[in-house]
Structure 1
Amino acid sequence: MRQVVLDTETTGLSWEKGNRVVEIGCIELLERRPTGKHFQRYLNPDREMEPGAQEVTGLTRDFLSDKPRFGQVVDEFLDFIRGAELIIHNANFDVGFLDYELSLAGAHFGRIRDHAAVLDTLALARERYPGQRNSLDALCKRLDVDNGHRKLHGALLDAELLAEVYLSMTAGQGDLGLSLAAGATPAQRVVTVEMVVGERRVLRASADEQAAHAARLSRIAKKAGGRALWPQADEPSAAT
Structure 2
Amino acid sequence: MREIIFDTETTGLDPKKGDRLVEIGCVEMVNRVQTGRTFHAYFNPDRSMPAEAEAVHGLSETFLADKPRFHEKAAELLEFIGDSPLVAHNAGFDFGFLNAELDICGLEAVSTTRMVDTVAIARVRHPGAKNSLDALCTRYGVDRSHRTKHGALLDAELLAQVYVELTGGRQIGLELASVVEDSITIAAAPTRIRERVFRPSRPHVASAAELERHAQFLESIKSPLWSG
Aligned-partner residue type, residue 7 of structure 2? D
Report the CA distance between 1:138 and its aligned residue.
0.6
Aligned-partner residue type, residue 169 of structure 1: L
**Aligned pair partner of 2:124 in 116, 124, 127:** 127
- CA deviations 1:62-121 (Å, max 9, x no partner) are 100100000000000001111111111001100001111011011xx211118x711000
Deviation at 1:173, TM superposition (A): 2.6
Output aligned runs, 1:131-146, within 5 Å: 131-146=128-143
2:96 — aligned with what? 96
| Structure 1 residues 133 and 73: CA distance shift in structure 2, 3 A | same
Moved over 2 A (4+): 172-175
Give the equivalent residue in structure 2 for 1:63: 63
> Retained in 2: the 8 A contact 1:164–1:174?
no
Aligned residue in 1 for 2:225: none
The one-letter code of the counterpart of 2:148 is: K
Q: Paired residue for 2:5?
A: 5
Aligned to 1:193: none
Cα shift at 1:172: 2.5
Residues 23-80 of structure 1 deviation map (CA, whole Å, 9 limit, x = unaligned): 0000000111111100000000001111111001111011001000000000000011
The reply to whether residue 76 of structure 1 matches residue 76 of structure 2 is: yes
For the Cα contact (< 8 Å) 1:145–1:174, is it kept in 2?
Answer: no
SS in 2 for 1:152: coil
Using structure 1 for the length normalisation, give the TM-score.
0.69
Q: C-alpha distance in 2, partners of 1:30/1:172?
A: 14
Once the two structures are superposed, residues 10-35 of structure 1 have per-residue CA deviations (whole angstroms, 9 ceiling, x without a partner) of 01111111000000000000111111
Does the 8 Å contact 1:143/1:174 carry over to 2? no
Whole-angstrom distance in 1 between the partners of 2:136 and 2:20: 27
* Cα offsets for 1:207-239 (capped at 9, x unmatched): xxxxxxxxxxxxxxxxxxxxxxxxxxxxxxxxx
Q: Distance in 2 between matches of 1:112 and 1:103?
A: 10
Alignment of 1:40-189 (within 5 A): 40-106=40-106, 109-113=107-111, 117-173=114-170
Amino acid corresponding to residue 108 of structure 2 in structure 1: G
**Conservation of the 8 A alpha-carbon contact between 1:20 and 1:97:** yes
Q: CA RMSD in A?
A: 1.4
Q: C-alpha distance in 2, partners of 1:173/1:65?
A: 43
Change in 2 beyond 3 A, CA 1:89/1:155: same
Task: Look up the equivalent residue of 1:19 and give its one-letter code.
Answer: D
Q: Distance in 2 between matches of 1:66 and 1:173?
A: 42
Q: How does 1:17-36 map to 2 (within 5 A)?
A: 17-36=17-36
- 1:52 is paired with a residue whose SS is helix
Which amino acid is the alignment partner of residue 145 of structure 1? V
User: Residue 140 of structure 1 contacts residue 161 of structure 1 at CA under 8 Å; is this kept in 2?
Assistant: yes
Aligned length: 172
The alpha carbon displacement at 1:174 in A equals 7.5
What letter corresponds to residue 27 of structure 1 in structure 2? Answer: V
Whole-Å separation in 2 of the counterparts to 1:130 and 1:32: 24
C-alpha separation between the residues in 2 aligned to 1:32 and 1:152?
26
Amino acid paired to 1:142: R
How far apart, CA to CA, are the structure 2 residues paired with 1:125 and 1:149?
23
Q: Distance in 2 between matches of 1:81 and 1:9?
A: 18
Larger Rg computed on CA atoms? 1
Q: Write the distance in 2 (CA, Å) between the matches of 1:57 and 1:111.
A: 26
Stretch deviating more after TM superposition (150-159 or 26-35): 26-35
SS of 1:133's partner is coil
